């Protein structure tokens, strides 16, 4: 179909305008701006991304690869608004402060921290099945659902965090994996992940029976266990097996197609 000239001109103008916005230089990309950004990073980001930005429960930010968007505008949005559906929170800073953080985060790629992992990922993949991990965890559509889906965990966490998750799972259990234990008045006991609770009822994902709502008036006893249902593997894996599992998990990265730079 022939696009009328007026509209075509308008489209070209619009494309030019958005390009101009995207290319506006970050006025805080100065030594002082970066230093201010580093201060905020240490107090508000380092707990998840590591003091040097090399990762923890959040990803390594030094590699220069930002899966959720590589432009300054993407970074601004992801840092100020958080990333929906992930553990990346939104932040209550003013615009100048956010640009200072963006400038600091950008500067991290100048000295990428890439840890060479000692393990053998292919052998780790075999262990993942042999040691029962796949009984609870999905990887690329295969496995159980009692633990989190690990299909892209290598893009979401540092190798050090992955290692600790295996040896000491109880250390850092998100509330989505706290286990509710209920004994109803008829003497039956149920356990499962707690999904919701209000004054009248709780909703749980019963390990045996799936989604279940139990009225509070029907319980005798209700408790929440904040430890992990994942067994600790500290003494169940040899050192090289642990290395291999970590190498396997670290290799489970988001597809590069998820990078907004390539999508557009
Ligand atoms: C509670 C932990 C937590 C805190 C605090 C946190 N982040 Fe994150 N952040 C994450 C996680 C987890 C992800 C990965 C989201 C995903 O891809 O699943 C992430 C992702 C990101 C990304 C996107 C990476 C990409 O590949 O596109 C950036 C940039 C980022 N964080 C910067 C920051 C900055 C800057 C701060 C502080 C102002 C901060 N984060 C605070 C956990 C956190
Ligand atoms: C009985 C079910 C079960 C088994 C078996 C199990 N896990 Fe888990 N796993 C979980 C649950 C539930 C969580 C979330 C709670 C937590 O952090 O401990 C989890 C968390 C994790 C995490 C952290 C994920 C994140 O979001 O940071 C990793 C990594 C992991 N498991 C790897 C493994 C590996 C490797 C094995 C096998 C050696 C294994 N799991 C065996 C249930 C299990």
List all residues whose CB is within 6 A of at least one atom of ligand 2: 128, 131-133, 135-137, 146-148, 153, 157, 162, 165-166, 169, 172-173, 177, 228-230, 233, 245, 249
Ligand nearest to the CA of 60: 1
CB atoms within 10 A of CB 108: 21
Q: Is 153 in the pocket of ligand 1 (CB under 6 A)?
A: no
pLDDT at 7: 58
Whole-angstrom distance, CA of residue 175 vs CA of residue 87: 12
Query: Which residue is closest in CA terms to ligand 1's atom 39?
Result: 45
Give me 174's structure tokens.
């998100």
pLDDT at 260: 45
Closest approach atom of ligand 2 to CA 248:
35
Which residue bears the tokens 């840092």?
Answer: 79
pLDDT at 174: 87
Whole-angstrom distance, CA of residue 232 vs CA of residue 173: 13
Q: Is 47 in the pocket of ligand 1 (CB under 6 A)?
A: yes
Residue 204 CA, ligand 2 centroid: distance in Å: 19
pLDDT, mean of each 10-residue run, the chain (264 residues): 55 48 78 98 96 94 92 96 93 94 97 90 98 96 93 94 94 89 92 92 90 92 92 93 97 70 38
Give me 213's structure tokens.
């709502």
Residue 106 CA, ligand 1 centroid: distance in Å: 13
Contact between 249 and 162 under an 8 Å Cβ cutoff? The reply is: yes
Query: Which residue is closest in CA terms to ligand 1's atom 7?
Result: 88
């Amino acid at each position: 179909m022939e696009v009328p000239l007026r509209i075509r001109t308008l489209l070209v103008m619009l494309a030019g305008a958005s390009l101009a916005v995207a290319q506006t230089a970050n006025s805080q990309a100065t030594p002082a701006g970066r230093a201010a950004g580093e201060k905020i990073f240490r107090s508000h980001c380092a707990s998840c991304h590591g003091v040097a930005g090399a990762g923890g429960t959040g990803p390594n930010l030094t590699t220069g690869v930002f899966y959720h968007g590589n432009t300054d505008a993407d970074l601004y949005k992801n840092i100020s608004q958080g990333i929906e559906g992930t553990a990346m929170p939104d932040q209550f800073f003013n615009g100048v402060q956010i640009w200072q953080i963006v400038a600091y985060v950008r500067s991290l790629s100048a000295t990428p921290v890439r840890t060479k992992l000692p393990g053998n990922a292919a052998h780790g993949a075999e262990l993942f099945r042999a040691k029962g991990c796949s009984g609870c965890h999905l990887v690329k559509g295969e496995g159980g659902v009692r633990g989190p889906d690990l299909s892209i965990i290598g893009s979401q966490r540092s190798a050090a965090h992955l290692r600790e998750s295996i040896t000491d799972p109880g250390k850092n259990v998100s509330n989505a994996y706290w286990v509710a234990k209920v004994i109803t008045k008829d003497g039956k006991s149920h356990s499962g992940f707690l999904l919701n609770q209000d004054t009248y009822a709780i909703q749980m994902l019963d390990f045996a029976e799936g989604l279940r709502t139990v009225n509070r008036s029907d319980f005798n006893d209700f408790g929440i266990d904040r430890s992990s249902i994942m067994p600790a593997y500290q003494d169940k894996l040899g050192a090289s097996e642990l290395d291999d599992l970590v190498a396997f998990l670290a290799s489970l990265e988001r597809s590069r197609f998820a990078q907004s730079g390539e999508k557009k």
